[in-house]
Structure 1
Amino acid sequence: MDYVTTLKILVIGESGVGKSSIILAFTTGDYNPSFPATIGVDYKCKVMEVNGVKVKLGIWDTAGQERYRTLTSSFYRDAHGAILVYDTSEPKTLAKLKEWVEELQVYSTKKNIVCLVVGNKIDKPRAVPREHGQAFAQKHRMLFIESSAKTNDGINLAFEELVQKIIETPGLWETNKSSDNIRITQQQWEQQEESTCYNNICTI
């Protein structure tokens, strides 16, 4: 296998907005309407190529419930990108993103982290105008897209745009003197695959 650049991506937002469903749709193409709420932090990975750069995405799915917030703060460390998800059928989930932005600002160790706001569940009756999501993203200088994990609309594009922006951001991901951006060989890849944690609380 060619050398692969590893990027750490966070998916954050309120419980029930479809964070886990987005990750499942992106990594497997599947959709589970009865997906259980994430406990603590979940982890998935996928290899993709953007602009000729092959990357391995380590995608961290953080629980939205308030009682798990103290468990997730350490997972913001060294993240290259973050996807902030709200439900286009539930206005309060967009309002709550402000708190997630504040938490991201407090715990993120990369000040030039790339963020993407995703309005999910556009397959359902809309209660949040697209313009409201766009305005929130513009206010916080973030990318914006709408999606449906159920129909897979916008899912791949969301990750592609996020990764492309990360690649275009100087000093954020290059594998020069940074220990958290590594290139892995085939043997290291297989070792990581064998030890991948897919549910509950993982360690970095």
Structure 2
Amino acid sequence: MNKLSKKELKKLRKLKKDYQIFSIKLVMAGDTRTGKSCALIRYCENIFEKFNPSTIGVDFKSCIINIENMTVKLLIWDTDGNDQQRKTVGNYFQGCAGIFLFYNSSNRRSFENLEEWLNEIRERQIHSGAIKILIGGWSDNEDDKVVSTEEGRFFANVNGFIFIEVSSLTGKNVENMFVCMGRAVLRNLAAGFVNVGIKSNGISLVGEPRQHKN
């Protein structure tokens, strides 16, 4: 995704006023063992945990990201992909600025189950300005892939998602997926598609306003 333009950055600085940073609520969803937690840990801690246990319920991490000299705090909810937890997980979709929807490139069923996740997202009536990114996890070994890049990209295009394949093992595109999400959310904000400070949009301002000297 292209960098934010000077015009977009000017609008964002005007919206930010004297507050320090934007805070963005994000949700990671998809079946169990699709790489959600591994990608999050790889990005936030720069480590790869091969035998990372599956998330039970919901996990949470926050991190600071710099996008074109614009400081942004990402609040990331890593959700349980278990079938029995899907309705509970769906509660976290409401009031988010963006959703990462994962499938495992080496697991056909996780890709087929994307339709069920889409239905859950639609039922929760996510606001129209929410950014949706489809993540093809476990994409480091072409020999193990049973879902092609073309299939993933087609599904994303049909359903209005950005598409990115990642590998937490090699680090491929892990940072890019978070930068891409941050840029897309800020671009929508600059264009006026979403407003800051409205709970349902998942974007807020953080920090005390700077005091100006007389």
TM-score interval (norm. to shorter) = 0.7 to 0.9
Say if 1:6 and 1:136 are closer, same or farther in 2 by CA, change over 3 A: same
1:96-144: CA deviation from partner (whole Å, max 9, x where unpaired): 1111111111114422211011111112322111000000000011100
Mapped contact 2:93–2:99 kept (Cα < 8 A): no
Mapped contact 1:18–1:120 kept (Cα < 8 A): yes
CA distance in 2, matches of 1:40, 1:111: 26
Higher-Rg structure is 2
Mapped contact 1:7–1:173 kept (Cα < 8 A): no
Structure 1 unaligned regions, length at least 5:
187-204
Instruction: Find runs of 4+ consecutive structure 1 residues off by over 3 angstroms.
Output: 170-174
1:124-169: CA deviation from partner (whole Å, max 9, x where unpaired): 3221110000000000111001110111111001111111111111
Query: Who is 1:116 aligned against?
Result: 133
TM-score scaled by length of structure 2: 0.80
The letter of the residue matching 1:115 is K
CA distance in 2, matches of 1:52, 1:106: 37
Is 1:168–2:190 an aligned residue pair?
no
What is the deviation of 1:10? 0.7
Query: Who is 2:10 aligned against?
Result: none
What is the deviation of 1:4? 1.3
Aligned length in residues? 185
Indicate which of 20, 23, 31 corresponds to 2:48: 31
Query: Who is 2:24 aligned against?
Result: 7
Q: How does 1:17-28 map to 2 (within 5 A)?
A: 17-28=34-45
> Identical aligned pairs, as a percentage?
23
Q: How does 1:86-105 map to 2 (within 5 A)?
A: 86-105=103-122
Indicate the RMSD between aligned Cα atoms, in angstroms: 1.8
Mapped contact 1:167–1:173 kept (Cα < 8 A): no
Q: Which stretch of structure 1 is more off in the superposition, 22-31 or 46-55? A: 46-55
